[in-house]
């Protein structure tokens, strides 16, 4: 995680050339995702909006990215905490505007970070169906109920954020297996309520 330096704050001066407060807000939002400071498209757009060179625009995006991630990591939720990050001589209205925008965006960014954290494949959807087996090659007449459960999972990839890999599995359970599974799930629920009660 990059450390906030004087250089980052001097890059913010470029925002004084922004055409509107919304343009600043948009830049803050666009610079947040990982990989944003390297995006050619984004650099060109920022350079055009602020009438600066591509190199300067990239410096700014990197600075915004570092600042927003620093605030998110340390969970800085009070305006004073964010204002304290800026150097003494920093432009006061720009400082207030940035603080306001970053505070506004923090809850969204926090839920995004939580949703995208590394984890095992996450359950997306789950369906079930109960069938009645009436015949097979070993028994010509029977009436055996069986349960089929279909689960869809998604694995988020940090490297390619737009390509989440979906997988699915269908599982067959006999009555006994379903009972045993429910036993296990019931135990989990009991343990969860103990933890929640503490």
Partner 1 sequence: LNIMSLMKKQVHYPMLARLAVGQTLMVNQLVDMEWKFGVTVGTSELQKVGNIFLQLKLVIRKGNSTENVYMELTLPQFYNFLHEMERAKASIDCFS
| Chain contacts with partner 1 (rule: CB under 8 A) | 1, 69, 72-75, 110, 113-114, 117-123, 126, 128, 130, 132-133, 136-139, 142-147, 149, 151, 153, 169-175, 177-182, 184-186, 188-189, 191-192, 195
Query: In this complex, which beta carbon is closest to partner 1, that of residue 20 or of residue 140?
Result: 140
Report how far residue 66's alpha carbon sits from residue 73's, in angstroms, rounded to the nearest whole number.
10
Furthest CA-CA distance within the chain: 88
Query: In this complex, which beta carbon is closest to partner 1, that of residue 38 or of residue 183?
Result: 183
Quick one: which of 167, 160, 163 has its CA closest to 121?
A: 167
CA trace torsion 130, 135, 138, 144 (10° rounding): 40
Report how far residue 182's alpha carbon sits from residue 189's, in angstroms, rounded to the nearest whole number.
10
Shortest distance, position 176 Cβ to partner 1, whole Å? 10
Shortest distance, position 13 Cβ to partner 1, whole Å? 27
Query: In this complex, which beta carbon is closest to partner 1, that of residue 14 or of residue 76?
Result: 76
Give the pair of three-digit tokens for residue 12: 């913010």
How large is the angle between the packed helices 21-31 and 40-50, nearest 10 degrees?
A: 160
Shortest distance, position 152 Cβ to partner 1, whole Å? 10
Query: In this complex, which beta carbon is closest to partner 1, that of residue 18 or of residue 82?
Result: 82
Give the pair of three-digit tokens for residue 122: 């996450």
Query: In this complex, which beta carbon is closest to partner 1, that of residue 17 or of residue 122?
Result: 122
Place of tokens 């915004």: 64
Shortest distance, position 112 Cβ to partner 1, whole Å? 9
């Amino acid at each position: 995680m990059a450390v906030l330096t004087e250089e980052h704050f001097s890059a913010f001066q470029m925002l004084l050339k922004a055409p509107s407060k919304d343009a600043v807000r948009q830049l803050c939002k666009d610079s947040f995702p990982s990989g944003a400071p390297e995006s050619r498209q984004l650099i060109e757009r920022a350079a055009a909006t602020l009438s600066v060179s591509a190199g300067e625009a990239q410096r700014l995006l990197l600075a915004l990215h570092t600042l927003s991630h620093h605030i998110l990591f340390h969970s800085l939720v009070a305006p004073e905490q964010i204002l304290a990050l800026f150097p003494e001589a920093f432009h006061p209205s720009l400082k207030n505007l940035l603080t306001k925008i970053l505070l506004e965006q923090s809850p969204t960014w926090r839920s995004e970070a939580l949703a995208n954290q590394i984890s095992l494949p996450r359950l997306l959807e789950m369906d079930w169906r109960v069938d009645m087996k009436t015949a097979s090659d070993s028994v010509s007449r029977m009436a055996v109920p069986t349960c089929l459960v279909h689960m869809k999972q998604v694995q988020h990839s940090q490297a390619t954020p737009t390509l989440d890999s979906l997988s699915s599995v269908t599982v067959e359970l006999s009555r006994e297996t379903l009972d045993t599974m429910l036993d296990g799930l019931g135990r989990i629920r009991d343990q969860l309520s103990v933890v929640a009660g503490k």
